[in-house]
Amino acid sequence: MRRKIAAGNWKLNGTRASAAVLEALVEQHPNPGAEVIICPPAPLIPILAGLGTPFAIGGQDCHAAASGAHTGDTSAEVLADTGATHVILGHSERRADHGETDDMVCAKAKAAYRAGLTAIICVGETEPQRDTGTTLDVIATQLAGSVPEGATPENTVVAYEPVWAIGTGRTPSLEDIAEVHAAIRDRLAERFGPKAADAMRILYGGSVKPGNAADIFAVPNVDGGLVGGASLKAEDFGPIIAAADATR
Residues 161 and 226: beta-carbon distance below 8 Å? yes
Contact pick of 207, 221, 222, 243 for ligand PEP (by CB under 6 A): 207
Question: Whole-number minimum distance, CB 111 to ligand PEP, in Å?
Answer: 20
- Cα–Cα distance measured from residue 60 to residue 100, given in angstroms and rounded to the nearest whole number: 13
Residue number with CB closer to ligand PEP (90 or 192): 90
Count the site residues for ligand PEP by CB under 6 A: 13
Active site residues: 91, 161
How far is Cα 200 from Cα 197, in angstroms, rounded to an integer?
5
Q: Is 142 in the site for ligand PEP (CB under 6 A)?
A: no
State the DSSP code for 212: T
Interacting residue with ligand PEP among 4, 5, 6, 9 (CB under 6 A) = 9
Binding mask 45-84 for ligand PEP (x = CB under 6 A): ----------------------------------------
For the segment 215-234, give every residue that binds ligand PEP (CB under 6 A). 226-230
Q: Is 166 in the site for ligand PEP (CB under 6 A)?
A: yes
Nearer to ligand PEP, 117 or 226 (CB): 226
Smallest CA-to-CA distance from 35 within 52, 66, 57 is with: 57
DSSP label of 200 = S
Stretch that binds ligand PEP, among 16-24, 73-81, 159-167, 188-196 (CB under 6 A): 159-167
- 3-class secondary structure, 1: coil
Sign of CA dihedral 58, 62, 64, 67: negative
Residue 155, by phi and psi: left (phi above 0), alpha (psi -120 to 50) or beta?
A: alpha
Strand partners, 58: 86
Query: Using CB atoms, what's the residue nearest to ligand PEP?
Result: 228
Residue 133: φ, ψ to 5°: 75, 20
Which one of residues 35, 61, 100, 161 is an interface residue with ligand PEP (CB under 6 A)? 161
Q: Measured from the CB atom, is 139 or 208 closer to ligand PEP?
A: 208
Within 8 A by CB and 6+ apart from 40, the residues are 10, 14, 18, 48, 57
Distance CA 100, CA 119 (A): 16
Nearer to ligand PEP, 83 or 229 (CB): 229
Residues that bind ligand PEP (CB under 6 A): 9, 161, 166-167, 205-208, 226-230
